[in-house]
Amino acid sequence: MVKEQFRETDVAKKISHICFGMKSAEQMRKQAHIQVVSKNLYSQDNKRTPLPYGVLDHRMGTSEKDRPCLTCGKNLADCLGHYGYLDLELPCFHVGYFKAVIGILQMICKTCSSIMLTKEDKQQFMDYLKRPNLAYLQKRGLKKKISDKCRKRTICLNCGAFNGSVKKCGLLKIIHEKYKTTKKVVEPFVSDFLQSFDIAIEHNKLMEPLLPRAQENLNPLVVLNLFRRIPAEDIPLLLMNPEAGKPADLIITRLLVPPLCIRPSVVSDLKSGTNEDDLTMKLTEIIFLNDVIKKHRMTGAKTQMIMEDWDFLQLQCALYINSELSGIPLNMAPKKWTRGFVQRLKGKQGRFRGNLSGKRVDFSGRTVISPDPNLRIDEVAVPVHVAKILTYPEKVNKANLELMRKLVRNGPDVHPGANFIQTRHTQIKRFLKYGNREKIAQELRIGDVVERHLIDGDIVLFNRQPSLHKLSIMAHIAKVKPHRTFRFNECVCTPYNADFDGDEMNLHLPQTEEAKAEALVLMGTKANLVTPRNGEPLIAAIQDFLTGAYLLTLKDTFFDRSKACQIVASILVGKDEKIRISLPRPAIIKPIALWTGKQIFSVILKPSKDCPVNANLRTKGKQYCGKGEDLCHNDS
């Protein structure tokens, strides 16, 4: 017996592609848990319980904290919701697929539903479609070719019927210009059609000029029957995947009723009752119109009444999907604006940009930015007001116990202070604005967490929107300063693409030591001086720095001892304050000792021989005259 080959079942798999499709009416029925038939929301009793088989039936989930779902028994936090379905009395056009419906109608015969192509063309296009790895743009081009060929042909090769052009006419209306002809020789069936009105013309002469403009109305019921009769072998030529949806699925015959959790009822405190979601109200209108059409059909009402109700039902189904339709007749226009499915998804406040891509975070601040050339490129000045609100959870240890006690005594109103304290064993936060802070400070123990104010030296993330590349958010070292704006060195404007005409920027305070270390090492300004795109320096001297350096190093710029020392001392700050400075021999000795700007520039780069900077600043240039290093007449 041959040993069975070992196959690892639990292996990582790579998704090759995703296929989007349309749900058929049968798939909707299988996915849904109940059929919605009642237009009323609540029962007439005082408890206001949702009606069974209504739009708010709790078998579709729950929107209340104290009421479980009747299908799965879970509460609001755990129940994902369950769908219902609603059968339409008459089919309707889907506003999202309306263009696709017209495109298919232009490619098929409006009598027998066959595609308007010869057998040779069909075979040629099918061979092309069977090619592997056919790109999307190639498919689009192929669809246009097939559509153009079909539209040029007027006589169906299968049944011999005449086909005119198919056009959109008004809101969700399609017409077939079957009887319109521009030829001198009229088609036989067109002349037969015109002759059938001879008796009517004798009684009403006004009808005669209207006959050449007669059109066939393709209502959703006609289109649905046409789409159902499309041969299975012709569906790929319409550039449709039969597994993802058939042409008949483009017409709405059944609507999915979404779960309650995405359309919750809000209980109003001011007036007795509830405020219902726009989708819920739109569904009740659709059910009401459905019932009206059903009643009219059963009682044998006038066709005109049924057609008007049908048009209104189509409009309500379209508004349910997309409430921003144009071209709605005035007598059918909605009185107030509602949000459809499209409005929930698109735009800045929609589901994608507003909820999935958009984030809301704690421990962040936003205000206007200002320049401050006295700050280092890795520093950012944070207003005291912001520093009192942004907190960092510092763990108490032996080294910082006294400092933490001092911060607790200061409280939330004095900077540096603390806003909250969390004891080691109880996970309860105590607000330090109230209570005896002196007593709390004395009771502080190692292991407690003090949420202290942002202080000098904290690592913060600084960001300007739009964040178009990774250098749009970088780590800086905070410096708490007075006033109300974030300030930073102008040299860092380029990566942020910032200017100071009212721009605002965001500041985030990392909440762990690991995050702070990671931010400083990977996102620090000093680690991102050059762009990863092409290696160009992004953080460098700009504008007034360059102008100042140019003016400082001009040939006729001289400084006396006090001015020279002042310039050098103002630039050598921070860690460089303790460096000993060795002024070079002055360029001019009498009548007064004067140093050139170039000499001062050299001192800034290398203050003394003991300086660790190994830079040679002396080299012989092409224009050097050889008569003194500092006052060469060829110097610029």
Higher pLDDT, 623 or 147: 147
CA dist list (Å): 185 to 17, 55, 166, 181, 190: 53, 58, 22, 9, 10
Whether residue 454 has pLDDT greater than 90:
yes
More confident residue, 441 or 573: 441
Contact yes or no for 74/60 (Cβ under 8 A) = no
User: In the predicted model, is pLDDT for residue 421 greater than 80?
Assistant: yes
Distances (CA, A) of 125 to 106, 236, 409, 411: 17, 10, 82, 78
pLDDT beyond 90 at 154: no
How far from 202 is each of 51, 190, 212, 488, CA to CA, in Å? Answer: 59, 19, 17, 90
Note whether 84 and 32 are within 8 A (CB): yes
> Which residues of 14-156 form beta strands (DSSP E)?
34-35, 84-93
In sequence order, the β-bridge partners of residue 476 are 460
Instruction: Record the tokens describing residue 370, joined without a space.
Output: 């200002």
Asked whether the predicted pLDDT for residue 2 surpasses 70, the reply is: no
Using CB atoms within 10 A of its CB, is residue 426 exposed (0-12), middle (13-18) or buried (19+)? exposed
Question: How large is the C-alpha radius of gyration of the chain?
Answer: 39
Lookup result for tokens 């630039």: 571
- Work out the angle between the directed axes of helices 544-552 and 597-605 (0-180°, nearest 10): 120
pLDDT at 317 over 90: yes
Which pLDDT tens digit goes with each residue over 101-147? 999 999 999 889 999 999 999 999 999 988 888 888 999 999 999 99
**Residue 113 falls in which region: left (phi positive, over 0), alpha (psi -120 to 50) or beta:** left
| Distance of alpha carbon 499 from alpha carbon 370, whole angstroms | 9
Token pair, residue 484, equals 């109300």
pLDDT digits (tens, 9 = 90+) for 474-519: 999 999 999 999 999 999 999 999 989 999 999 999 999 999 999 9
Which one has a higher pLDDT value, 607 or 528?
A: 528
Q: Which CATH number fits domain 364-528: 3.30.470.20, 2.40.40.20, 3.30.70.2740, 3.40.50.720?
A: 2.40.40.20
Whether 600 contacts 582, CB under 8 Å: no
CB 83 within 8 A of CB 259: yes
How does strand 418-422 pair with strand 449-453? antiparallel
The average pLDDT across 263-275 equals 76
Per-residue model confidence as pLDDT tens digits over 80-102 = 999 999 999 999 999 999 999 99
Question: Which amino acid would we find at residue 394?
Answer: E
Residue 602 has pLDDT above 90, yes or no: no
pLDDT at 548: 86
- Decide if pLDDT at 158 tops 70: yes
Average pLDDT in the 339-361 region?
A: 88
Q: Give the DSSP per-residue string, 475-496.
A: EEEEEEESSSSEEE-GGGHHHH
- C-alpha 28/C-alpha 228 separation (Å) is 18
Domain 543-636 has CATH 1.10.274.100: yes
Percentage above 90 pLDDT, the chain: 40
pLDDT at 180 > cutoff 80 = no
- Position 541 scores a pLDDT of 86
pLDDT at 331: 82
Q: What is the pLDDT of residues 187-236, one digit of tens each?
A: 666 666 667 677 777 777 777 777 767 788 899 999 999 999 999 899 99
Dihedral angle of Cα 616, 618, 623, 628, to the nearest 10 degrees: 180
pLDDT in the model for residue 136: 87
Q: In the structure, what pLDDT confidence band is assigned to residue 3 with cuts at 50, 70 and 90? A: low
Judge whether residue 182 has pLDDT over 90: no
- How confident is the model at residue 374, as a pLDDT? 87
Residue 509: Cβ within 10 Å count: 23
The per-residue DSSP string of 150-192 comes to: HHH--B-TTT--B---EEE-STT-EEE--S---SSS--HHHHH
Lowest mean pLDDT among 2-11, 410-419, 518-527: 2-11
pLDDT higher at 396 or 7: 396
What is the Cα–Cα distance from 209 to 52, expressed in whole angstroms? Answer: 56
pLDDT for 8 beyond 70: no
Q: How confident is the model at residue 363 (pLDDT cuts 50, 70, 90)?
A: very high
pLDDT at residue 185 is higher than 60: no
Domains of the chain by residue range: 93-252, 364-528, 543-636
Sequence-ordered strand ranges (E) for 388-458: 391-395, 418-422, 429-431, 449-453
Q: Left, alpha or beta for 73 (phi > 0: left; psi -120 to 50: alpha)?
A: left
Q: Work out whether the CA dihedral 433, 435, 439, 443 comes out positive or negative.
A: negative
pLDDT bracket for residue 247 (50, 70, 90): very high
Reference 180, options 169, 170, 171, 286; nearest CA is 169
3-state class (DSSP) for residue 115: strand
> Beta strand pairing status for 379-383 and 473-481?
parallel
The mean of the pLDDT values for the chain is: 87
pTM of the model: 0.72
pLDDT tops 70 at residue 11:
yes
